Amino acid sequence: MGYPFVEIDLEKIAANARLLVDLCKKQDIEVIGVTKVVCADTAIAQAILSGGVKALGDARIQNLRKLREAGIKVPLMLLRIPMPSEVAEVVQIAEYSLVSEYATLERLSQAARQVGRTHKVILMVDMGDWREGVVPQKILPLVEQALLLPGIKVQGFGANFACYGGLIPTEENLGRLIDLTRQARREFSHELPVISGGNSSNVELLLKSAIPPEINQLRLGESILLGRESVNRKPIPGAFQDAFTLHAEVVEVQEKPSVTPGEICRDAFGNLPVLKDRGIRKRAIAAIGRQDVILEGLRPILPGVEILGGSSDHLILDVTDAHQDINVGQELCFFMEYGALAHVMISPYVSRVYKHYNDCCYEAACCK
């Protein structure tokens, strides 16, 4: 296997899924396992399912199609609002969609009727994160319209937190979502069985058993894959944070000044470098760059290695204080934050190796 590659421990992912499913089960919460950050990698999806997750969600219909083509038969949820141009495929592949526009509901209704299906929708309410969803005062009129559409089954309400506006889920704002659901149930005499309360940003409340009892669904990705909640990035007790490891090869080791000798301009990405004079330092270059990964989301595993920055294809490291000698051809490993993992998993230049359950056997595959 050539460099760079990401090593994926499927057993640790399954264990994280099992931990979160068990936590949620105690509070009568269903887990939707979110595969979008790994581009619906089917081996990872199977690991999530082996941990007890019963349904998967992804933001892209292409990824849900990949899961179906791999023989995965569990219910699938389209997390991004369906594009009008894809509704025919959505009703064929996904059991659920998250929807906020009546125009989209109309198209889903028409597409579902054409193939003789009923498509389930969760109507999204924007509780203040300012991404998808109608404002609370507009949700009841949307419910009234949606209930009249044939081929559509309104399952309930959903909300999103800590993605765009950074709004943290609390007992109070989740309580307002519950109040809206109760009001809709009374007004329209409709069951609305699902209240989808958010994502991995809800895990801290989950650990405190502080999620209001009527919240019965969470859409979890980062917490399963990286073993952290997504508000403060705190590790989840008992979960693994090292299911993914990035491996890169060193291609240069040189002693160089730490500041540029001449006039400075913006770098290739439009940023103005800020350099601190630390004298002559030992630097290494690893063969991976911004075209593959968000460099700021990497954490060197070897103590004493410091990330200075990089370009499209080069990761520049200060290895002066590294706890072992660094040489050309040596492998350096990194843990990744969520954004870095997302970029690595879409790069055609980063391969994947899988550590299988209960053994040390690795299987290689190129990212496509």
DSSP string, 286-341: ES--TTTS-GGGEEESSTT-EEEEE-SS-EEEE-TT-SS---TT-EEEEEE-HHHH
- 3-class DSSP state for residue 110? helix
Task: Decide if 36 is catalytic.
Answer: yes
Structure tokens at 43: 């081996």
Whose tokens are 């990194």? That residue is 334
Dihedral, CA of residue 10, residue 13, residue 19 and residue 23, to nearest 10: -140
According to DSSP, the residues that pair with 246 across neighbouring strands are 6, 334
Structure tokens at 142: 């949307």
Instruction: Answer whether 263's CB lies under 8 Å from 355's CB.
Output: no
Smallest Cα–Cα separation from 64: which of 54, 53, 79, 51?
A: 79
236 backbone φψ class: left, alpha, beta (φ>0; ψ -120 to 50): beta
Smallest Cα–Cα separation from 192: which of 162, 160, 215, 220?
A: 215
Phi, psi for residue 31 in degrees, rounded to 5: -105, 125
CA 297 to CA 91: how far, in whole Å? 36
Given 12, 25, 26, 36, which residue is catalytic? 36
CA 236 to CA 242: how far, in whole Å? 12
AA identity, residue 263: E
Active site (catalytic) residues: 36
